[in-house]
Amino acid sequence: MQYDILLIGGNGFVGRTMAAQLQTAGYSVLIPSAHPTAGRELRMLPKIHLEEADIHDFDELQYLCSRIQRNGAVINLVGVLHDKPLQPYGKVFKAAHVDLSKNIITAMQLHGLKRYLHMSALGADPHGPSMYQRSNGDGEAVVRASDLNWTIFRPSVIFGAQDQFINLFAKLTKLFPAMPLANHQAKFQSVSVDDVASAFVRSLTMPKTIHQSYDLVGLKVYSMKEIVEFAARKAKTSCAIIPVPAVVGYLQAFAFEFLPGPTLMSRDNIASMSLPNTLSPEGVDALTKVFNLSHRSLEGNQ
């Protein structure tokens, strides 16, 4: 069977929302996943097909692209948040943000596919202060240098019912009566997962978005402290948020990197937060005119 869309990273938080929107829009979608059994809700959607595959294996990636119609599209949502310190960035960031982009582009070219939508990150910059920003910036450069009909999306922090950002802080505020918070003044312009998915899906039928990059944000700018306070309200806890100096936050993050289990915060995250994750009002207006986004608020997501 031939599919309209290859949705790489489609079994994740953003991908699940996007897959549902793609089906509503009438597309058939192929989603490769290392853990296809985890996408139970996606299996209930008749035009969505999950298949076990290793997207970092070039032969498997080629085979996946061979099953997409020539007038179809490839969407890449793959991104990672943590890696071991290295200059300009570590192997995990390189594999996910740079090498995978190169391989997708080559596989698409081999099979005559042209339309490519790429998920990057707000603040991506080859010369940015963090490995995360630098690797995403280099990934964007790979996409722009290709002959594909590409569109790049650069979202701020994405929120939604199953996000890993707000929900993480909500869990932490349940565990502790007080939370030391470094970088409490760091700025974010959080965007809803529904708006992110809508921008991707709508761009598929908008030729004017080809060879364009879009910063995806919401209407309101939040400080880190305001976001954690919101998470506490969502969790219905009375956790006290205690701002601490940046050096304390750096030491906290350093300690978190060595704890077992998922990394809560890293020194690279702290470096990313040294720059505001926001967009000018004029940029927001331009974004709204292009995609007619709903701009669902963080408070409206409770």
Using the predicted structure, report yes or no on whether residue 71 has a pLDDT greater than 80.
yes
The pLDDT assigned to 75 comes to 98
Q: How many CB atoms are located within 10 Å of the residue 62 CB?
A: 15
Name the DSSP class of 94. I
Given this structure, which CATH class describes domain 3-158+191-217+278-296?
Answer: alpha beta
**Nearest-CA neighbor of 78 among 93, 64, 90?**
93
Q: Using one digit for the tens of pLDDT, what is the confidence trace for 106-163?
A: 999 999 999 999 999 999 999 999 999 999 999 999 999 999 999 999 999 999 888 8
Q: Tell me the pLDDT tens digit for each residue of 251-264.
A: 878 877 777 767 77
Bridge partners of 8?
76
8 Å CB contact between 89 and 81: no
The model's pTM: 0.92
The residues spanned by each domain of the chain are 3-158+191-217+278-296
Q: How far is CA 266 from CA 98, 169, 184, 234, 258, in A?
A: 21, 15, 15, 24, 10
- One-letter amino acid at 20 equals A
Residue 302: pLDDT over 60: no
Beta strands 158-159 and 222-223 are unpaired
